[in-house]
Amino acid sequence: MKTNYFKIIAIFFAMGLFVVSSCKKPDPDSQSAEDDARGSFIMADAFALGNDNAGGGGGGKLDGCMTKEIIDAHTFKLNFTDGCDYRGHTRSGSLIVAWAMGGEFGERAFNITVTFDGYSVDGIGVQGKIKSTFKGPYATPVIDVKSTNMVATFSNNETIKWSSDKRFTIANFLTETPNIVTMSGTASGTNRSGDDYTATYSSVKIDRACELGYPVSGTVTIDSNKGTTVIDYGSGNCDNEISVTNGGVTVNVKL
């Protein structure tokens, strides 16, 4: 499906979760929250790149530093020159994308699988596999995105390792009304400090009519050796306020 929503969603979550590291009380697991947000961005960004270029059409130059190399009828590589600045992020290496028609919707929707060949984004090396499955109806699509054996390697050799299974439901897709995107699912892995964590997303909703750009409701729960941290985006109001709970203590935070 031709949309950049997943990249946008990832940025929203990063903005919401990174703020946790500034909280003094309670004592949340800021490292796991930050690393989970980073993994969410990497997954969603790679999905968007593959999805936007899937379907029929030849290869060739797509941008000043990005090319599409056709491997076969349903597989291509997106190649980035070293230091390619594309969509506001520096990239190198390649994404390998296999695609198929998404059910009955023909050229309008795709199921894709993305793997990585020497790929990095913002200097972070990426390995693993991302697979999406489109489910209808087309007017209110549901897209399942699974990432497996993902590894993000930083310049200091620290790594984030994770897998995730997330479902995105899009309302008002075929109307002029701004889309409402709801995400649920889980992610689990090991953060840069070597600690295991699990993140659970419960009906986190982004209403694109909300110009502030933050989720308007739902929760993200981080479980780790620091206990349980719950990030609550509220009950539907378009605002910049969240609550963070850890160890029985809750604080309100403005993003």
Q: Give the tens place of pLDDT for each residue, 149-164.
A: 999 999 999 999 999 9
* HSE toward the beta carbon, residue 160, CA cutoff 13 A: 26
- What pTM was estimated for this model as a whole? 0.86
Residue, of 90 and 106, whose pLDDT is higher: 90
pLDDT surpasses 60 at 42 = yes
pLDDT surpasses 80 at 9 = no
| Whole-angstrom distance, CA of residue 196 vs CA of residue 213 | 30
pLDDT surpasses 90 at 65 = yes
Residues belonging to the chain = 255
Contact 116, 126 (CB under 8 A): yes
Q: Which percentage of the chain shows pLDDT scores above 70?
A: 84
Structure token digits, residue 171: 């309302």
The pLDDT of residue 18 is 43
The pLDDT of residue 104 is 57
Strands 159-171 and 196-207: unpaired
87 pLDDT band (50/70/90 cuts)? confident
Contact 173, 2 (CB under 8 A): no
pLDDT surpasses 50 at 174 = yes
Structure token digits, residue 154: 């930083």
| C-alpha 70 chain-centroid distance | 26
pLDDT, one tens digit per residue, over 92-145 is 999 999 999 865 555 567 899 999 999 999 999 999 999 999 887 777 788 899
The pLDDT of residue 80 is 96
| Whole-angstrom distance, CA of residue 6 vs CA of residue 40 | 9
The pLDDT of residue 178 is 67
Q: Which percentage of the chain shows pLDDT scores above 90?
A: 45
The pLDDT of residue 108 is 63
Structure token digits, residue 188: 């689990």
pLDDT surpasses 80 at 239 = yes
**3-class secondary structure for the chain?**
CCCCHHHHHHHHHHHHHHHHHHCCCCCCCHHHHHHHHHHHHHHHHHHHHHHHCCCCCCCEEEECCEEEEEEECCEEEEEEEEEEEECCEEEEEEEEEEEEECHHHHHHCEEEEEEEEEEEECCEEEEEEEEEEEECCCCCCEEEEEEEEEEEECCCCCEEEEEEEEEEEEECCCCCCCCEEEEEEEEEEECCCCCEEEEEEEEEEEECCCCCCCCCEEEEEEEECCEEEEEEEEECCCCCEEEEEECCEEEEEEC
Contact 13, 21 (CB under 8 A): no
Cα–Cα nearest to 145, from 14, 45, 30: 45
Summarize the confidence of residues 158-180 as an average pLDDT.
85
The pLDDT of residue 48 is 86
Give the number of other Cβ atoms within 10 Å of residue 201's Cβ.
23
The pLDDT of residue 28 is 67
pLDDT surpasses 60 at 56 = yes
Encoded amino acid at 83, one letter: G
Window from 4-8, 154-158, 205-209, 220-224 with minimum mean pLDDT: 4-8
The pLDDT of residue 197 is 96
The pLDDT of residue 166 is 93
Any residues with CB less than 8 A from the CB of 60 and at least 6 apart, and which? 67, 68
